[in-house]
Amino acid sequence: MSRRALALFLVAGVVLAFVPNLRSALDFPIFYLIFLYSLFFWITQATSWNILTGFSGYFSFGQAAFFGVGVYTSAILVARYDVGFFATLPAAGIMATVLAGTIGFLAFRLRALRGEVFALLTLAVTFVLTALAGANSYIDGGQGHRVSVPDYPSFLGSYPDFIYRVGLVMAIASVAIAYSIQHSRFGRGLFAIRDDEDVAEALGTPTLRYKMLVLSLSGFLAGAAGGIHSLQISYITIGETFSFTVPLFVILMSVLGGRNHWLGPVIGATVVYTLRDRLSGAGFEAWSQILLGSILILAIIFAPEGLYPRVRARLRLVILVAVVVLAVESGADVGGASLDQITIAMLVVLPLLLVPDRILRWTGWLRPAVVPVGRKARRAATWDRESLTLRATGQEASVAVGSDAVSAPLLQCDQIRMEFDGLHALQDVDISISAGEIVGLVGPNGSGKSTLINVMSGMFAPTSGSVRFRGVDITGRPPHVISNLGIARTYQIPRPFATMTVFDNVAVACMFRHKGMTLDEAQHAAWEYLEFTGLVDVADTLPSQVNLHQRKFLELARGLASEPEVLMLDEVLSGLNPTEIDESVEMIRRIHASGHTIVIVEHVMRVVTDLASRMVVLNYGRKLAEGTPAEVMNDREVVKAYLGREHA
Q: How far is the CB of 429 from ligand ADP (least distance, A)?
A: 11
Binding to Mg ion by CB under 5 A, coded x per residue (else -) over 481-500, reads -----------x--------
- Asked if 432 and 607 count as a contact pair (C-beta separation under 8 A), the reply is no
The interface partner of residue 451, options being ligand ADP, Mg ion, none and the CB cut-off 5 to 8 Å by kind, is: ligand ADP
Q: Which is nearer to Mg ion, 412 or 450 (CB)?
A: 450
Q: Which is nearer to ligand ADP, 409 or 446 (CB)?
A: 446
What gap in Å lies between CA 174 and CA 23, rounded to an integer?
26
Q: Which is nearer to Mg ion, 145 or 552 (CB)?
A: 552
The interface partner of residue 446, options being Mg ion, ligand ADP, none and the CB cut-off 5 to 8 Å by kind, is: ligand ADP
Q: Which is nearer to ligand ADP, 95 or 572 (CB)?
A: 572
Q: How far is the CB of 36 from Mg ion (least distance, A)?
A: 58
Q: How far is the CB of 451 from ligand ADP (least distance, A)?
A: 3
Binding residue for Mg ion (CB under 5 A) from 450, 484, 499, 501?
450
What gap in Å lies between CA 271 and CA 368, rounded to an integer?
24
Give the closest residue to 392 by CA, choosing from 141, 122, 595. 595
Q: How far is the CB of 133 from ligand ADP (least distance, A)?
A: 43
Q: Which stretch binds Mg ion (CB under 5 A): 12-20, 296-304, 364-372, 445-453?
A: 445-453
Cα distances (angstroms) measured from residue 511 to each of 130, 458, 494:
42, 20, 20
Q: How far is the CB of 436 from ligand ADP (least distance, A)?
A: 25
How many other C-beta atoms can be found within 10 angstroms of the C-beta atom of residue 135? 11
What gap in Å lies between CA 288 and CA 347, rounded to an integer?
12
What gap in Å lies between CA 47 and CA 222, rounded to an integer?
9
Q: Which is nearer to ligand ADP, 423 or 472 (CB)?
A: 423
How many other C-beta atoms can be found within 10 angstroms of the C-beta atom of residue 569? 26
The interface partner of residue 107, options being Mg ion, ligand ADP, none and the CB cut-off 5 to 8 Å by kind, is: none
What gap in Å lies between CA 515 and CA 531, rounded to an integer?
22
- Asked if 589 and 582 count as a contact pair (C-beta separation under 8 A), the reply is no
* Distance of alpha carbon 237 from the chain centroid: 35
Judged by CB under 5 A, the chain residues 166 through 195 that form the site for Mg ion are none
Number of residues that bind Mg ion (CB under 5 A): 3
**Can you name the residues that pair with 599 across neighbouring β-strands?**
439, 568
The interface partner of residue 382, options being Mg ion, ligand ADP, none and the CB cut-off 5 to 8 Å by kind, is: none
Tallying the residues shown for the chain, one arrives at 648
For residue 62, how many C-alpha atoms fall within 13 Å in the half-sphere facing its CB?
A: 34
- Asked if 92 and 75 count as a contact pair (C-beta separation under 8 A), the reply is no
Q: Which stretch binds Mg ion (CB under 5 A): 129-137, 289-297, 446-454, 463-471?
A: 446-454
What gap in Å lies between CA 139 and CA 130, rounded to an integer?
10
- Asked if 302 and 355 count as a contact pair (C-beta separation under 8 A), the reply is yes
Q: Which is nearer to ligand ADP, 332 or 423 (CB)?
A: 423
**Can you name the residues that pair with 570 across neighbouring β-strands?**
601
Does 447 participate in binding Mg ion (rule CB under 5 A)? no
The interface partner of residue 447, options being Mg ion, ligand ADP, none and the CB cut-off 5 to 8 Å by kind, is: ligand ADP
The interface partner of residue 448, options being ligand ADP, Mg ion, none and the CB cut-off 5 to 8 Å by kind, is: ligand ADP
- The binding site for ligand ADP (CB under 6 A) comprises 420, 423, 425, 443, 445-451
Q: How far is the CB of 571 from Mg ion (least distance, A)?
A: 6
* Distance of alpha carbon 404 from the chain centroid: 46
Judged by CB under 5 A, the chain residues 199 through 258 that form the site for Mg ion are none
Q: Which stretch binds Mg ion (CB under 5 A): 64-72, 132-140, 194-202, 442-450?
A: 442-450
The interface partner of residue 423, options being Mg ion, ligand ADP, none and the CB cut-off 5 to 8 Å by kind, is: ligand ADP
Q: How far is the CB of 442 from ligand ADP (least distance, A)?
A: 9
Residue number with the smallest Cβ distance to Mg ion:
450
Q: How far is the CB of 426 from Mg ion (least distance, A)?
A: 12
Q: How far is the CB of 648 from ligand ADP (least distance, A)?
A: 15
What gap in Å lies between CA 47 and CA 170, rounded to an integer?
11
What gap in Å lies between CA 220 and CA 289, rounded to an integer?
30
> What is the phi/psi pair of residue 17, to 5°?
-60, -25
Give the closest residue to 66 by CA, choosing from 199, 224, 223. 223
Q: Which is nearer to Mg ion, 442 or 581 (CB)?
A: 442
Q: Which is nearer to ligand ADP, 209 or 603 (CB)?
A: 603
Sheet architecture: strand order including 472-473: 423-434, 409-420, 464-469, 472-473
Q: What radius of gyration do the chain's Cα atoms show?
A: 29
The interface partner of residue 70, options being Mg ion, ligand ADP, none and the CB cut-off 5 to 8 Å by kind, is: none
Contacts of 66 (CB under 8 A, 6+ apart): 48, 96, 99, 100, 218, 219, 222, 223, 226
Q: Which is nearer to Mg ion, 487 or 530 (CB)?
A: 487
Q: Which is nearer to ligand ADP, 453 or 488 (CB)?
A: 453
Give the closest residue to 451 by CA, choosing from 415, 424, 421. 424
**Can you name the residues that pair with 468 across neighbouring β-strands?**
412, 473
Give the closest residue to 617 by CA, choosing from 437, 444, 435. 444
What gap in Å lies between CA 292 and CA 271, rounded to an integer?
9
Q: Which is nearer to ligand ADP, 459 or 519 (CB)?
A: 459
Burial of 589 from C-beta contacts in 10 A (0-12 / 13-18 / 19+): middle
Q: How far is the CB of 533 from ligand ADP (least distance, A)?
A: 23
Q: How far is the CB of 418 from ligand ADP (least distance, A)?
A: 8
Q: Which is nearer to ligand ADP, 112 or 132 (CB)?
A: 112
The interface partner of residue 194, options being Mg ion, ligand ADP, none and the CB cut-off 5 to 8 Å by kind, is: none
Q: How far is the CB of 640 from ligand ADP (least distance, A)?
A: 18
Q: Which is nearer to Mg ion, 427 or 501 (CB)?
A: 427
Q: How far is the CB of 599 from Mg ion (least distance, A)?
A: 13
Binding site for Mg ion (CB under 5 A): 449-450, 492
